[in-house]
Amino acid sequence: MNKADVIGVIDENMPGMSKGHKAIASYIKEHYDVAVFMTAAKIGEEIGVSESTVVRFASNLGYDGFPEFQNYLAQWVKSRMNTIQKVGAKYGNSSQSQIIDSVLKGDIEKINDTLSEIDPQAFEAAVDALLDAKTVYIAGIRTCSPLAEFLSFYLHMIRDNVICLNTTSVSETFEQMIRIDKDDVFVGISFPRYSMRTLKAMEFAGDRNARVISITDSIHSPMCMYSSINLFARSDMVSIVDSLVAPLSVINALVVAFCLKAPEEVKDNLKNLEDAWSNYQVYLNDEINFIDDEPVVDYSLTKDN
C-alpha cells in the first residue's frame, strides 16, 4: 500500500467498507481541501457519525491512527497537479488573444455565479456588523492579503478603529488582536489553499465572543466553522495567479453599502480627510493634477539631465 496516495487507498478499500465508512470516504473525496483541516470529531459531526468511527476508518485503511491519515492527506493535497501543469492543460494551445478572452470571460462567469449565489441577508448582516463594531479586525494571508488591505484601506477612510492584521506568525496575530471582544468584528478572508493562520485567528475571535465574518468560496470552506456571517465568492480559476475579481467585487459592495448606511458619518470623515490632504499638501509632489482636462505634472520630481 502506498500511504501517500490517500485517495487511491480509499478507492481501493471502498467496496468492502461499511455504510458509515463509505460516507466518510465520499465526504473526504469530494471535500479533501476542507477535510485536511478538520479533526476526526468535526468530520464525524459533518457526516453524522461518531469520532471513533472516523478514527477506525483511518485505521482500517492501514494508517496508524487519524493523525497519520491526515498528514498523508495534507501531502496528497499539496502534491496535486501544480500550477504550471494546470496552466499548460488549459491554455497550452491558445493564442494570446484567446488567453485574454478566456481569462476575462472566466472572471465574468465568476462574478455572475457570485451574484446568483450570495445570500442577501448575510450581506446585510455583514454591513450592519461593520457599522456597529467598536473595532474591525481584518485578516487575509498570502494571495488574500491584497483583498484584506483593500477592505482595510477604504473602511479606514470612512470609519474609526480598523486594524488590518499584518504578520507572518500566529503568535504575532494574537498579539495584535489581544483586546478583541464582543463589541468587535473580525473579517477573515481565505480561499483554497486555505490559511491556517487566518483560521486560528477566526477561532480566537469567536472564543472572545466577537462577531466573525468570513469571505470565502463555499459553504464547505473550513472558514465557515468559525464564522457566523458567510459571504461566498467564486475564485476557482486555473491560472498562475488566483482570480480575485469576484471576492473583490463583494468587498467593494460592502464598502458602498456601508457608505449608504451611514452617509453623514462617511461625509464628515471624508471632509476631514480632504481638509488634511489640502492643509498638509499630501499630494503636492505625488500625483498628476488635471486643470481644464490638461495634465499638469510636477517637474520637481524629475532629475536635471
pLDDT in tens, 251-263: 988 888 887 877 7
**Dmax (CA) of the chain:** 80
Sign of the torsion formed by the C-alpha atoms of 244, 171, 130 and 272: negative
Spatial distance between the Cα atoms of 303 and 283, rounded to a whole number of angstroms: 19
- Residue 303 is classified by DSSP as P
Residues of the chain with CATH 1.10.10.10: 6-78
Predicted confidence (pLDDT) per residue in 262-282, tens digit: 777 667 666 665 655 555 555
Predicted confidence (pLDDT) per residue in 134-191, tens digit: 999 999 888 788 899 989 988 887 788 988 987 666 667 778 888 899 999 999 998 8
31 or 229, greater pLDDT: 229
- Tally the C-alpha atoms within 13 A of residue 244's C-alpha that lie toward its C-beta: 16
Name the E strands within the chain.
136-140, 162-164, 185-189, 211-216, 229-232, 289-291, 294-296
Q: What's the confidence (pLDDT) of residue 50? A: 92
Q: How confident is the model at residue 83 (pLDDT cuts 50, 70, 90)?
A: very low
Q: What's the confidence (pLDDT) of residue 33? A: 76
163 or 106, greater pLDDT: 163
**What pTM was computed for the model?**
0.60
**pLDDT surpassing 80 at residue 224:** yes
Which stretches of 118-195 are DSSP H helices? 120-132, 145-158, 170-176
CA-wise closest residue to 35 among 6, 4, 9, 63: 6
Rounded (10°) CA dihedral 267, 273, 274, 275 = 110
For cell 456601508, name the residue.
Answer: 258
Taking the domain 107-261, which CATH number applies?
3.40.50.10490
Least-confidence region, from 91-105, 204-218, 221-235: 91-105
183 or 238, greater pLDDT: 183
Taking the domain 6-78, which CATH number applies?
1.10.10.10
Spatial distance between the Cα atoms of 49 and 53, rounded to a whole number of angstroms: 6
ω before 193 within 30° of 0 (cis)? yes
Residues of the chain with CATH 3.40.50.10490: 107-261
Instruction: Let me know: does 189 contact 165? Beta carbons within 8 Å.
Output: no
